Amino acid sequence: MRFTCKMWLIVGSADRDQSAMTKVAQPGMLTRARGRYDGLLEIISYNRGFYAFTIIGVVAGSLTAAWLRGSLGLLLAGAIVITVAWMLASLAVSHYIYDRSALYDFRWMRERLPRAPRNWVNIHSGLDQTSQILRSVFPNSDGQILDIYDPTEMTEPSIARARALSSGGPKALAADFRHLPLPDSSCDAVFLIFSVHELRQRDSRVEFFQEVARVLAANGTVILVEHLRDPANFLAFGPGFLHFHSRREWLHAAHSADLKVQEEMSVTPFVHVFILVHEHGS
């Protein structure tokens, strides 16, 4: 069954303090439907096993370093300091990106879509933090929300935990990323916001982008927002930056679907945005 890009958005009763929202959703008004520390708390919650393991390791290492003597103890103490500093830096950067930056006010998006799309689709991997904001940015547009979570393809433990801990949100239609339930050329805008990196295999990403190209209208726009596997994210997240894909990988997926980059930009040094259009669009 295929659906048109009609509005499926139903604002759920997410367990968030509504007073923490910086604006109330009104037509034409940008909404930040997030508390000031939501992003940081979500990162800790979704990766609590990692942080618990790290804290235990730091405590055990500190006790061992105090017992050891000489250069070996100093080396271990240095490694502990680096580990703690990296973890704290990662949390500070996450708080900056997800809670303090302009990422989720989407003014940058509206500047790049001066003509509001008639139909849009927001595609996520089971954790939707943007559809409510998109609705406020484009209040007169019809929108669809698709959830392409596939446990056989999205194998990272963090996404499964995130789905389990998510407090709900807008209603989404479960979809196969290989066969999106939308007609050809039916969407003026396709939003891919921190979702597609969960497809770990290159061939799967190519298949998905080919589907995105199929449903994208001739003059439509794809907005892809992701962290990159680059020096900035390595400094911020350490080995965790391997969870992201390189710029080259994203360009490969786009070009394989005959999509070209109309513009690239950064929202903070850690978040990259690709504005994609049809290679042969008018």
Do 181 and 73 fall into the same domain? no
The predicted structure's pLDDT at residue 163: 72
Banded pLDDT at 14 (limits 50, 70, 90): very low
Instruction: Give yes or no for a contact between 169 and 12, defined as CB atoms under 8 angstroms apart.
Output: yes
Bigger pLDDT: 34 or 49? 49
Burial code (b: 16+ CB inside 10 Å, e: under 16) for 175-200 equals: bebeebebeeebbbbbbbbbbbbbbe
The predicted structure's pLDDT at residue 23: 35
What average pLDDT does the segment 12-22 reach?
A: 30
Banded pLDDT at 33 (limits 50, 70, 90): low
Instruction: Give yes or no for a contact between 222 and 277, defined as CB atoms under 8 angstroms apart.
Output: yes
Do 226 and 95 fall into the same domain? no
Do 119 and 245 fall into the same domain? yes
The predicted structure's pLDDT at residue 281: 60
Do 56 and 169 fall into the same domain? no
Any domain includes 1 = no
- Closest-CA residue to 219 (of 261, 195, 189): 189
Any domain includes 2 = no
Do 220 and 252 fall into the same domain? yes
Any domain includes 250 = yes
Choosing from 65, 82, 99, the residue where a domain stops is 99
Any domain includes 187 = yes
Instruction: For residue 260, list its beta bridge partners.
Output: 277
pLDDT tens track for 132-156? 999 999 999 999 999 999 988 887 7
Give me the percent of the chain exceeding a pLDDT of 70: 84
Any domain includes 11 = no
Any domain includes 146 = yes
Do 164 and 274 fall into the same domain? yes
What average pLDDT does the segment 238-260 reach?
A: 95
59-66: Cβ within 8 A, 24+ apart: none
pLDDT tens track for 91-134? 999 999 999 999 998 999 999 998 999 999 999 998 888 999 99
pLDDT tens track for 67-83? 988 888 899 999 999 99
The predicted structure's pLDDT at residue 21: 29
- Closest-CA residue to 108 (of 273, 276, 277, 255): 273
Do 49 and 176 fall into the same domain? no
What average pLDDT does the segment 82-87 reach?
A: 91
Give me the percent of the chain exceeding a pLDDT of 90: 62
Bigger pLDDT: 30 or 146? 146
Do 142 and 22 fall into the same domain? yes
Average pLDDT, the chain: 85
For the cut 80, the answer to whether the pLDDT of residue 161 exceeds it is no
Instruction: For residue 191, list its beta bridge partners.
Output: 122, 223
Choosing from 52, 72, 99, the residue where a domain stops is 99
Bigger pLDDT: 218 or 170? 218
Do 139 and 173 fall into the same domain? yes
**What's the total number of domains in the chain?**
2
Question: CATH code at 249?
Answer: 3.40.50.150
The predicted structure's pLDDT at residue 11: 32
Do 164 and 268 fall into the same domain? yes
Do 235 and 157 fall into the same domain? yes
pTM: 0.83
pLDDT tens track for 176-195? 999 999 999 999 999 999 99
Instruction: Give yes or no for a contact between 91 and 44, defined as CB atoms under 8 angstroms apart.
Output: yes
Any domain includes 143 = yes
Where in the sequence is the domain holding 83, given as residue range(s)?
A: 38-99
Do 66 and 126 fall into the same domain? no
Any domain includes 70 = yes
